């Protein structure tokens, strides 16, 4: 005969926590977004992408539609301050009940309204082993500096440029005769492998 303890333990084991609601921010083709959506489709990334937002017309919008995900352009208006735009972005995400924001090739630096609305819940991927080579053109920076090893970093977004808390890093060898294109492709493959796993761990530890 089952005890009450066994009964409640069994029932609680069957109760599934609702999937975390994420939004993905893009500015271009959205290859990292596509990799994340594929892992969600495969059931490996336990999340629900409720919205994809691009700050400009981008190929990634159609890619998201192909996954059946709502995707839209939210462009900065002429003369609109960065903070005002980010306030509109935060309001749009909150209206969709987004819990975590994932930047995937989003080319704008997020400002106060977004950082306040989603404090500690915005992730970004950067193509270097931070703190080395922050900012734009990280792959070219690595080649110019002559390093033998670079890679990618998944980090939280704060008010600085690529200065937030580091969650995970992956190493990529710089080969003799590398071009920016060749190195970028290998780093991107590393990003695709690392980003979804890091996001999965991050979502699992949220309250």
Residues forming the active site: 126
- Determine the distance from the C-alpha atom of residue 35 to the mean position of all C-alpha atoms in its chain, rounded to a whole number: 11
Helix (H, G, I), strand (E, B) or coil at 55: coil
CA distances from 163 to 135, 160, 202 (A): 10, 5, 18
Cis peptide before 131 (omega within 30 of 0): yes
CB 157 within 8 A of CB 123: yes
Cα–Cα distance, 167 to 12 (Å, whole number): 30
- With a CB cutoff of 8 Å and minimum separation 6, the contacts of 58 are 26, 27, 28, 29, 30, 73
């Amino acid at each position: 005969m089952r005890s009450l303890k066994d009964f409640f333990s069994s029932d609680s084991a069957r109760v599934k926590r609702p999937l975390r609601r994420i939004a993905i921010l893009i500015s271009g083709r959205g290859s990292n977004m596509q990799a994340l959506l594929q892992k969600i489709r495969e059931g490996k990334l336990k999340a629900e992408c409720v919205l994809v937002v691009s700050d400009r017309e981008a190929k990634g919008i159609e890619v998201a539609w192909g996954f059946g995900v709502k995707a839209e352009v939210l462009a900065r208006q002429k003369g609109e301050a960065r903070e005002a735009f980010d306030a509109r972005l935060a309001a749009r995400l909150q209206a969709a009940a987004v819990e975590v924001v994932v930047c995937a090739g989003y080319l704008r630096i997020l400002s106060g309204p977004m950082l306040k609305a989603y404090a500690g819940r915005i992730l970004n991927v950067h193509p270097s082993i931070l703190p080395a080579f922050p900012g734009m053109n990280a792959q070219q920076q690595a080649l110019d500096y002559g390093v033998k090893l670079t890679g990618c970093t998944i980090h939280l977004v704060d008010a600085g440029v690529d200065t937030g808390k580091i969650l995970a890093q992956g190493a990529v060898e710089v080969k003799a005769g590398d071009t920016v294109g060749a190195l970028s492709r290998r780093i991107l493959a590393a990003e695709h492998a690392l980003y979804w796993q890091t996001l999965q761990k991050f979502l699992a530890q949220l309250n």
